């Protein structure tokens, strides 16, 4: 799974309030006063423009991060859908093997073994059902987060801190979702391995059964 790390530039400070009368020598002429005030206003406008540019960059960074996070969540949703299809196929195969094992054991005159295998397969089925429910809930959570990301307004410069906090919260939820999916994947692989062992047992039982019929 892919992990994303988001870096946010520091929010620019607002332009300082100007004292237009400060700094002139006593007895300055009206013309000098106006010239001084014009220079101070030009400096204030330049600072305001620079701050606005920094805010614009910060907002664009947040938009890009949210777009990447949305893409990652959508990819996770696709992974969940694929695992759900695999689990559904596994459940069908599990049921078929369960019936076949019970049939073979009963045919060999070993009802106790058939009953034990039935209990074991029932336990495996419960594990699969539990895993399916967890994946369904995680699927809903991912869809909800994706919807929030697509509908949430970006806001202006004064909401940058809030946006950063929300972005970090969603990143943490994404990391949690990825960790949960990885855990579910390992459980699924374990179940598949157990199924493989069960298939080998069936083949061995079948050969013994056929050999017994030929004697």
Please name which of 54, 48, 55, 130 lies closest in space to residue 87, comparing C-alpha atoms: 130
Q: What is the pLDDT of residue 86?
A: 73
Angle at 55 between CA 164 and CA 142, to 5 degrees: 30
The label of the residue with tokens 């094992």 reads: 101
Burial class, 66, CB count within 10 angstroms (exposed 0-12 / middle 13-18 / buried 19+): buried
Burial class, 54, CB count within 10 angstroms (exposed 0-12 / middle 13-18 / buried 19+): middle
Rounded Cα distance, 170 and 161, in Å: 14
Whether the CB-CB separation of 146 and 74 falls below 8 Å is answered with: yes
Say if 112 falls within a structural domain: yes
Number of structural domains in the chain? 1
Rounded Cα distance, 108 and 205, in Å: 9
Rounded Cα distance, 32 and 25, in Å: 10
Q: How many CA atoms lie within 13 A of 95 on its CB side?
A: 8
Whether the CB-CB separation of 90 and 67 falls below 8 Å is answered with: no
Q: What is the pLDDT of residue 133?
A: 74
The reported pTM is: 0.33
Say if 5 falls within a structural domain: no
Say if 179 falls within a structural domain: yes
Whole-angstrom CA distances from 87 to 5, 98, 178 are: 32, 16, 18
Per-residue pLDDT of the chain (215 residues; tens, 9 = 90+): 333 333 334 444 444 444 444 555 666 677 777 777 778 777 877 777 777 777 778 777 777 777 777 777 777 677 777 777 777 777 777 667 667 666 665 655 556 655 666 666 667 667 667 766 776 776 676 667 666 665 655 554 445 566 666 666 666 766 676 666 666 667 666 766 766 676 676 666 666 656 655 65
Say if 20 falls within a structural domain: no
Please name which of 41, 47, 42 lies closest in space to residue 19, comparing C-alpha atoms: 41
Backbone angles phi, psi at 47, to 5 degrees: -65, -40
Q: What is the pLDDT of residue 174?
A: 62
Say if 15 falls within a structural domain: no
Say if 6 falls within a structural domain: no
Say if 169 falls within a structural domain: yes
Whether the CB-CB separation of 132 and 89 falls below 8 Å is answered with: no
Q: What is the pLDDT of residue 24?
A: 58
- Helix (H) or strand (E) segment spanning residue 122: helix 111-151
- Which structural domain range is residue 199 located in? 30-151+158-214
Say if 21 falls within a structural domain: no
């Amino acid at each position: 799974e892919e992990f994303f790390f988001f870096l946010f530039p520091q929010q620019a400070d607002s332009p300082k309030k100007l004292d237009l009368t400060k700094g002139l020598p006593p007895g300055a002429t009206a013309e000098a006063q106006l010239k001084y005030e014009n220079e101070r206003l030009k400096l204030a406008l330049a600072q305001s423009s620079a701050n606005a540019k920094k805010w614009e960059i910060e907002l664009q960074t947040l938009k890009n991060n949210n777009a990447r996070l949305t893409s990652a969540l959508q990819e996770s949703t696709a992974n969940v859908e694929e695992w759900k299809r695999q689990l559904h196929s596994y459940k069908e195969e599990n049921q078929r093997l369960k019936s076949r094992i019970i049939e073979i054991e009963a045919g060999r005159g070993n009802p106790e073994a058939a009953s034990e295998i039935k209990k074991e397969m029932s336990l495996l089925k419960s594990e699969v059902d539990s895993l399916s429910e967890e994946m369904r809930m995680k699927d809903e959570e991912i869809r909800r987060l994706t919807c929030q990301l697509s509908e949430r307004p970006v806001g202006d410069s004064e909401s940058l801190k809030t946006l950063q906090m929300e972005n970090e919260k969603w990143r943490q939820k994404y990391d949690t979702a990825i960790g949960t999916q990885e855990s579910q994947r390992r459980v699924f692989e374990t179940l598949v391995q157990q199924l493989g062992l069960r298939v080998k047992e069936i083949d061995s039982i079948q050969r013994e059964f056929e050999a017994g019929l030929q004697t």
